[in-house]
Amino acid sequence: MSDATPENPAGPATADADGSAPDFDTMTRDIADVPAVEVITTVAVHLMSAAAVNLGLAEEGDRHKDLDEARKLIHALAGLVDAGGTEISSFHAAPLRDGLKSLQLAFREASTVPDAPGQGPGEKYTGVVYG
């Protein structure tokens, strides 16, 4: 370990490209301007994407396959869709539910030891998923 003090101990998030401090008031206003439906759907899409990668559905799928991680992500997605579905309207919730069901079915197909009906990832919130 070195006794030297780093030039920027807080890391790159403390300064803009020109070296000036970021404007946190502007960032906060920008976040506040984002509608809740957009935040919820964006988080859901990120969870779906991460789950798909962990199910091995991405390019070079077997290299990234991790069913334990996929289970956690699908379960979190199911909770979000279940809780947020009524808040974001069926127009936005329906595609998220379809994507969730597809991931649940892909998980069931990828599992070497199948879960009992109702015990798969997210089925606590969605009920039993049938193909």
Give the model confidence (pLDDT) of 57-75 as tens digits.
Answer: 988 878 899 999 999 999 9
pLDDT exceeds 80 at position 7:
no
pTM score of the predicted model: 0.77
Stated as kind and residue range, the H or E segment containing 121 is none
Helix or strand (DSSP H, E) at 106: helix 67-110
**SS3 of residue 43 by DSSP:** helix
CB 47 within 8 A of CB 104: no
How does pLDDT run across 103-127, given as a tens digit for each residue?
A: 999 999 999 998 999 999 999 999 9
CA distance 111 to 19: 50
Q: How far apart are CA 88 and CA 36, in angstroms?
A: 8
**What does pLDDT average to over the chain?**
86
pLDDT tens column, 34-61: 899 999 999 999 999 999 999 999 888 7
| 100 in Cβ contact with 48 (< 8 Å) | yes
